[in-house]
Amino acid sequence: MSSTETATDPNQPVASRSTSTTATATATAAVPARATRLRGLDGLRFVAAFAVLGYHFTGIGLDTWGVIPAVKFPTLQHLTRYGFIGVELFFMISGFVILMTAYGRKLEDFVASRASRLFPAYWAAVIITVILQQFWHGGRGTGLMDGLVNLTMMQGAFDVSPVQGAFWTLWVELKFYLLMGVFVLVGITRRRVLAFALIWPVMGQLADATDTNLLNSLLFPTYAPFFAVGMLLFLIYRDRGDIVAWLGVGLNLIWCLQYVTDYAERASELVKRPVSPTVLAVIVLLMVVAIWAVSSGPLAALDWRWLTVVGGLTYPLYLIHVQFGFFIIDLTHEHLPAYLVLAMAIAVVLVLAVLLHYGVEERLHRPMRKAVRNALNKTSQAATGGRNG
Domain span holding position 66: 14-382
Residues 89-140 pLDDT 10s: 999 999 999 999 999 899 999 999 999 999 999 999 999 999 999 889 777 7
| Residue of 171, 109, 151, 127 whose CA lies nearest to 356 | 127
pLDDT beyond 50 at 19: no
Residue 45 has a pLDDT of 97
Asked if 300 contacts 273 with a C-beta cutoff of 8 angstroms, the reply is: no
Residue 382: band (very low, low, confident or very high) from pLDDT cuts 50, 70, 90: low
pLDDT beyond 50 at 215: yes
Report the length, in residues, of the chain. 389
Within a domain: residue 66? yes
How many folded domains does the chain comprise?
Answer: 1
Torsion angle, alpha carbons of 270, 273, 279, 283, to 10: -40
Within a domain: residue 7? no
Distance of CA 140 to the CA centre of its chain: 23
Residue 343: band (very low, low, confident or very high) from pLDDT cuts 50, 70, 90: very high
Within a domain: residue 4? no
Residue 383 has a pLDDT of 59
Residues 122-136 pLDDT 10s: 999 999 999 999 889
Q: How many CB atoms are closer than 10 A to CB 262? A: 11
* Angle 173-313-104 from CA coordinates, rounded to 5°: 50
Helices (H), 73-106: 77-80, 86-102
Residue 386 has a pLDDT of 55
Mean pLDDT of 316-324: 96
Residue 376 has a pLDDT of 92
Residues 56-69 pLDDT 10s: 999 999 999 999 99
pLDDT beyond 50 at 278: yes
Helices (H), the chain: 23-27, 39-58, 69-72, 77-80, 86-102, 107-135, 144-151, 168-186, 190-209, 213-219, 224-239, 243-271, 277-295, 305-332, 338-356, 362-388
Within a domain: residue 6? no
Asked if 256 contacts 285 with a C-beta cutoff of 8 angstroms, the reply is: no
Residue 32 has a pLDDT of 43
Q: What whole-number distance in Å separates Cα of residue 210 and Cα of residue 189?
A: 30
Q: What whole-number distance in Å separates Cα of residue 314 and Cα of residue 34?
A: 24
**CA distances for 144 relative to 119, 156, 323, angstroms:** 19, 17, 17
Within a domain: residue 97? yes
Rounded percentage of the chain residues whose pLDDT exceeds 90: 79
Tell whether the torsion through CA atoms of 4, 6, 7 and 11 is positive or negative.
positive
Give me the amino acid identity at 123.
Answer: W
Residue 10 has a pLDDT of 36
| Residue of 116, 54, 46 whose CA lies nearest to 309 | 46
